[in-house]
Amino acid sequence: MNYNKKSIEDVSVAGKRVLCRCDFNVPTKAGVITSDKRIVAALPTIEYLISHNAKVILCSHMGKPKGEWKPELSLKVVAKRLSELLGKEVVMADDVVGEDAKAKAAALKDGDVMLLENLRYMKGETKNDPAFAKELASMADLFVNDAFGTAHRAHASTAGVADYLPAVSGYLVQKEVSIMGKALADPDRPFVAILGGAKVSDKLNVINNLLEKVDTLIIGGGMAYTFLAAQGCGVGKSLLDEEKIDYCKDMMAKAQAKGVKLLLPIDTVVADAFPDPIDGPVEVQTVPSDAIPESKMGLDIGEKTRALFAEAAKGAKTVVWNGPMGVFENPTLAQGTIAVAQALAESDAVTIVGGGDSAAACEQLGFADKITHISTGGGASLEFLEGLELPGIACLEDK
């Protein structure tokens, strides 16, 4: 995949109607936005378009209305918040590609901003229906993709419209592509990848691709136990993906053949059961990773492992991290994740964090501003690491 894509700065936007795909999929509670982070993140691109005299037509999905007109998933709340942040009116359309949206798009003057209704009110959006994509495109002269979180999906608004319009990236997508793209295509070495988290099966597939690129692969979190099992260790009641044990054996062999250092936990923090509630009190002990008692569940990496992983991360020039090292939501089980986040924060390397929970952990634990780049898309960043082509990026014009 070519990572050298045109951005808004590489084309002229003045006087043009620009359809800009954003990620305004913000959390709400009883109709009130509980975090406007995603709206704030979109501001640089929107402000660039405004100040360069584009007629800005913003669009996004929110939630999963599945082609139904669900009023609780209307983007009206986003238009209101965005308008406050920009200090200027954001015209809200009553529909997506209907009469109202088209009339309002046609009436835009240079520097005006409007927002279409929730793209997923239309069945054609997630089906990437060409007729719907064409309708969307018909309102504009240029397409800007600034939604990395949906870049791994071939939807009408993320990829389909590019069949009908010239397409470039916004700042958010550009940053993802340039930083992650460079790490994968031409990393400064040593290149260390750290994987963890709970979605074992999902992430095991990333390993195959990363083994082609990294110097050291570190595995912690819930996915480590399938590797430990592949080494013949008992893992008690820990997360285990039995169907992937053979795959893990293959990956260990591949690492050895390629001369990639593969680091697994050497000690493990265990408890009798998963804490309930997740942040409730939990009684733990630390055991060697090859001696997890049958009745116990591994919930974090132990102290020796923390030192081992931190040491490897500190010596790196590029680090990619995806997935917490333990059940970080619980203060007693957050130590492994803290140790890794701290090692990244203290390192001079280019540090990249992907994955919703890993990003949340970095922020919650106070390390976010010391990380080079925190990806805005969980699923998309994983597919990036898997070496897959992302439709929302592939459709953009090459430089």
List the one residue out of 327, 335, 352, 368 whose CA is nearest residue 192.
Answer: 352
Task: Give 105 or 239: the residue with its C-beta nearer to ligand ADP.
Answer: 239
Find all residues with CB under 8 Å of 173, minimum gap 6, and list them: 145, 146, 147, 148, 151, 392, 393, 396
CA–CA separation, 362 vs 353, rounded Å? 9
33 residue type, one letter: I
Q: How many CB atoms lie within 10 A of CB 79?
A: 23
Q: Which residues bind Mg ion (CB under 5 A)?
A: 356-357
Residue 326 appears among annotated catalytic residues: no
Binds 299, which of ligand ADP, Mg ion, none (CB < 5 to 8 A, cut-off by type)?
ligand ADP
Q: Is 5 in the site for ligand ADP (CB under 6 A)?
A: no
In the chain, DSSP finds a helix count (H) and a strand count (E) of: 14, 17
Query: What is the b/e burial string over 184-200, where b = at least 16 CB atoms within 10 angstroms of the residue's CB?
Result: beebeebbbbbbbbebb
376-395 footprint of ligand ADP as x/- string (CB under 6 A) = --x-----------------
CB of 322 to ligand ADP, least distance (A): 6
Q: Could you tell me whether strands 373-374 and 350-354 are parallel, antiparallel, or unpaired per DSSP bridges? A: parallel
Task: Give 286 or 364: the residue with its C-beta nearer to Mg ion.
Answer: 364
CB of 145 to ligand ADP, least distance (A): 22
CB of 320 to ligand ADP, least distance (A): 12
Task: Give 160 or 298: the residue with its C-beta nearer to ligand ADP.
Answer: 298
Q: Which residues pair with 191 in a beta bridge?
A: 318
CB under 6 A: which stretch of 79-87, 111-119, 127-135, 197-205 binds ligand ADP?
A: 197-205
Residue nearest to Mg ion (CB): 357
- Residue 25: HSE in the Cβ half-sphere, 13 Å Cα cutoff: 16
Catalytic residue among 21, 55, 199, 244: 199
CA–CA separation, 396 vs 50, rounded Å? 21
User: Which residue from 1, 11, 41, 198 is in contact with ligand ADP, where contact means CB under 6 A?
Assistant: 198
Sign of the four-CA dihedral 190, 384, 387, 182: negative
> Distances in Å between the alpha carbon of 130 and those of 9, 81, 275?
28, 32, 48
Catalytic residue among 98, 234, 315, 356: 356
Q: Which residues pair with 160 in a beta bridge?
A: none
Residue 38 appears among annotated catalytic residues: yes
304 residue type, one letter: K
CB under 6 A: which stretch of 144-152, 284-292, 316-324, 383-391 binds ligand ADP?
A: 316-324
The string of DSSP letters for 167-202 reads EEE-HHHHHHHHHHHHHHHS--SSEEEEE-SS-HHH
User: Which residue from 149, 187, 197, 265 is in contact with ligand ADP, where contact means CB under 6 A?
Assistant: 197
Residue 366 appears among annotated catalytic residues: no
Residue 296 appears among annotated catalytic residues: no
CA–CA separation, 108 vs 91, rounded Å? 9
Catalytic residue among 67, 98, 111, 379: 379
CB of 344 to ligand ADP, least distance (A): 14
CA–CA separation, 284 vs 270, rounded Å? 6
Task: Give 138 or 372: the residue with its C-beta nearer to ligand ADP.
Answer: 372
User: Which residue from 322, 347, 351, 376 is in contact with ligand ADP, where contact means CB under 6 A?
Assistant: 322
Task: Give 176 or 357: the residue with its C-beta nearer to Mg ion.
Answer: 357
350-369 footprint of ligand ADP as x/- string (CB under 6 A) = -----xxxx-----------
Rg (C-alpha) for the chain, rounded Å, is 23
Q: Which residues are catalytic?
A: 38, 199, 356, 379
Chain residues in the site for ligand ADP (CB under 6 A): 196-199, 221-222, 239, 298-299, 322-324, 326-327, 329, 355-358, 378
